[in-house]
Structure 1
Amino acid sequence: MLNAWGWYVTYESDMERRPAFLDDKEPHPERKRFRLMEFRQPTEKLPLYQLVTPASGGAATPKVPWIEAQTSQAGLYDWFRVYLAADSQPVAENILAIFVQPVWPLPGQDTGADTTAAPNYLYDTRRYQWPESSGLAERSRHQLPPMVRLTLVALDERDWARLDSTGTDALAVQLRSLANTKVFTTSSQYEADVKRLETELVSLKLGFRVFSTAVQIPAAKLMSTREN
């Protein structure tokens, strides 16, 4: 039994998830916040291995699992994107961003990490289906990274509570730009990006904390497809 599970951050109102008797009047004003969302797709809805006919095949073409029939990055990622709204629930408020960085230990060294397998933080074990024949696709094919570094950026609720709806919307635009385009775009610049993020948040007069940890993945096999 398999099911999809993941996390992402969004900025949204809480109105759609409120019970009908709670309107946006006092003492329950609308709350617009950055929220950490958990995507939990039930097993019976997982489309990855449903048998389909490849787009390039005719009526007599044997059916293959849906994931094997995809030939582009956008097509591959449809399996979760189209279900996000229906199968996601908030697990925490005031989470500005979550960054996941695949890393490899450096041979013969006690510290440091190799980030070249995901130079822009994007790591996809089906990358070869985009299609792509680069070294990155070869290195990641059916291969879990041995370790991931997780970074979570949490904001101070008191700084949001003092703003009205218009104020939070305007600030959210700036913070989205910061998190999505200005930091954590190049893996080798991780430490510098953490400092830049902290500097930017201080300049916006926002309280925050940055949490970071490394998680080992014992199931990872440190070998390439060719070695198999």
Structure 2
Amino acid sequence: MSPRTRSRSRPGFTLVEMLVSMAVLALLMVIIMEMINRTQQTVTRQQARAEEFKEARAAMEAISRSLSGAVINSYWAYGDYSVGGKVNYTRQSDGHFVAGPATILRAAEQNSPGHAMFFQSSDGQTKLGTSTTGLGDPYNLITCMGYYVDYQDEDKLDIRPEFLAKDKVLNPERSRFRLMELRLPPEKNILYSTSLDINGAGSTRDNAYKWFRGPFTDETNTLKNSTVLAENILALILVPRYVAVTTTGSTGESGTGSNKENTLTNTKPAADYYYDSRESQWGAATEKSRNTAHQLPPVVQVTLVAAEERSYAELEIRMGEKPLADAVNAAFANKFTTQSQYAADLEAVEEALNVLKLKHRVFTTNVAIRGSKWVVEERNL
């Protein structure tokens, strides 16, 4: 048998089979690359989202930490009103806690929607150092604190380095909604000054508010002594609660000729979002004004509405700087004035921001204030 007869040639791939296999391989590579690309995009978006709202989360933690340590330094003093025909000792203080609509608290300086809050803290921070005479131990000093949202450009806030501020063509200034923190050192504090006389009988609300509005000892105002806590915070919403005592019914026990009644200490939200520890000085005599007199709120619900920077920047290019700011302000207009409408107002705001296609996120927490008494106290003479 010849060699040619013994060795039969092995069949190979045809041209058509090669082309089909190459097409299938190319299709698989395209599918795999598309899956990898989408995975990368998802991871990038999630990382960007986490980084985008990182400032807002940090700001919420800072507010919670500072607010929980608020002080008012109350004491007992002779009262100027009577209850049940008996003149009482009442709680007094040289401090002040106030939270409510920014239109009330910041007045002419108000430049954004939402609320504001101002109080004292014993964090002992001063810019003069420990060797400064006349201030005592700086670790026992009172610092005036405050939080509010303001819409300004970067140059007005003086937050850009000089080399960036000089060239506004390559580095244009940005106007943004920003969460501001007022941290007034003791050397600028006018709360205890005789010129303010916050405990004076004739002290008005506008006069009392000068301790956080200014002018301070260096003739500066609130904004000048504030720093940016977080960018792209569209609004700060505060729901302060106050202590209320309710009667739950008779116990059936006799005492001094009548049945005793059980009482329950509870908290109520401020119906108008307004809490002023000195409202009793210039407001109508109400349950809230009496129970909040020189008292810290036991709990404050804090809500931040934060926008995504990339989404805001894209909208700013399409709409323009001022029209976008006006649209955001319009979304909050006439909202958060009645606490019972809180949920409905928040839903309406989110819907308006979604219509604008502005990506955002809402952060909410309840902060318990350690210095709050949680009781309504009176002492009869």
TM-score grouping bracket, smaller chain normalisation: 0.7 to 0.9
CA spacing shift, 1:198–1:141, aligned 2, 3 Å: same
Write the deviation string for residues 96-155 of structure 1: whole angstroms up to 9, x where unpaired. Answer: 0111111358989xxx9731xx21111000112224323321121011111111100001
CA spacing shift, 1:81–1:166, aligned 2, 3 Å: farther
- Give the 4+ runs in structure 1 shifted more than 4 A: 104-108
For 1:62, the equivalent position in structure 2 comes to: none
Is 1:24 equivalent to 2:168 in the alignment? yes
For 2:16, the equivalent position in structure 1 comes to: none
- Aligned partner letter, 2:238: V
Is 1:140 equivalent to 2:292 in the alignment? yes
**Alpha-carbon offset, residue 166 of structure 1:** 7.1
The structure 1 residue matched to 2:331, chosen from 153, 163, 178, is 178
For 1:4, the equivalent position in structure 2 comes to: 144
- Aligned partner letter, 1:79: W
Answer yes or no: is the 8 Å Cα contact 1:32–1:165 preserved in 2: no
Tell me the distance in 2 between the aligned counterparts of 1:178 and 1:225: 42
Structure 1 counterpart SS, 2:191: coil
Where do residues 44-83 of structure 1 align in structure 2 (5 Å cutoff)? 44-52=187-195, 66-69=197-200, 71-82=203-214, 83=221
For 1:217, the equivalent position in structure 2 comes to: 369
Return 5+ residue gaps in structure 2 as ranges: 1-140, 215-220, 249-265
Is 1:38 equivalent to 2:189 in the alignment? no
- Aligned partner letter, 1:7: Y
Tell me the distance in 1 between the aligned counterparts of 2:208 and 2:243: 29
Is 1:95 equivalent to 2:227 in the alignment? no
CA spacing shift, 1:42–1:78, aligned 2, 3 Å: same
For 1:85, the equivalent position in structure 2 comes to: 223
Answer yes or no: is the 8 Å Cα contact 2:242–2:291 preserved in 1: no
- Aligned partner letter, 1:34: F
More off after superposition, 37-46 vs 129-138: 129-138
Answer yes or no: is the 8 Å Cα contact 2:308–2:359 preserved in 1: yes
For the pair shown, the structure with the greater C-alpha radius of gyration is: 2
More off after superposition, 69-78 vs 144-153: 69-78
Tell me the distance in 2 between the aligned counterparts of 1:85 and 1:31: 17
Tell me the distance in 2 between the aligned counterparts of 1:219 and 1:91: 24
Q: TM-score scaled to structure 2, two decimals?
A: 0.51
CA spacing shift, 1:183–1:131, aligned 2, 3 Å: closer
Tell me the distance in 2 between the aligned counterparts of 1:79 and 1:39: 12
Structure 2 counterpart SS, 1:192: helix
Answer yes or no: is the 8 Å Cα contact 2:278–2:294 preserved in 1: yes
Tell me the distance in 1 between the aligned counterparts of 2:187 and 2:276: 24
Tell me the distance in 1 between the aligned counterparts of 2:182 and 2:365: 21
Aligned residue pairs, count = 209
CA spacing shift, 1:165–1:29, aligned 2, 3 Å: farther
Return 5+ residue gaps in structure 1 as ranges: 53-64
- RMSD of aligned C-alpha atoms? 2.5
Tell me the distance in 2 between the aligned counterparts of 1:113 and 1:137: 14
CA spacing shift, 1:103–1:13, aligned 2, 3 Å: same
Tell me the distance in 2 between the aligned counterparts of 1:213 and 1:46: 30
CA spacing shift, 1:166–1:71, aligned 2, 3 Å: farther
Tell me the distance in 2 between the aligned counterparts of 1:166 and 1:48: 44
- Aligned partner letter, 2:163: F
Structure 1 counterpart SS, 2:199: helix
Where do residues 103-114 of structure 1 align in structure 2 (5 Å cutoff)? 103=241, 114=268
Looking at secondary structure, tell me which structure has more strand per residue. Answer: 2
Structure 2 counterpart SS, 1:143: coil
Tell me the distance in 2 between the aligned counterparts of 1:165 and 1:15: 23
- Aligned partner letter, 2:145: W
- Aligned partner letter, 2:268: D
Is 1:195 equivalent to 2:347 in the alignment? yes
Q: TM-score scaled to structure 1, two decimals?
A: 0.82
More off after superposition, 183-192 vs 16-25: 16-25
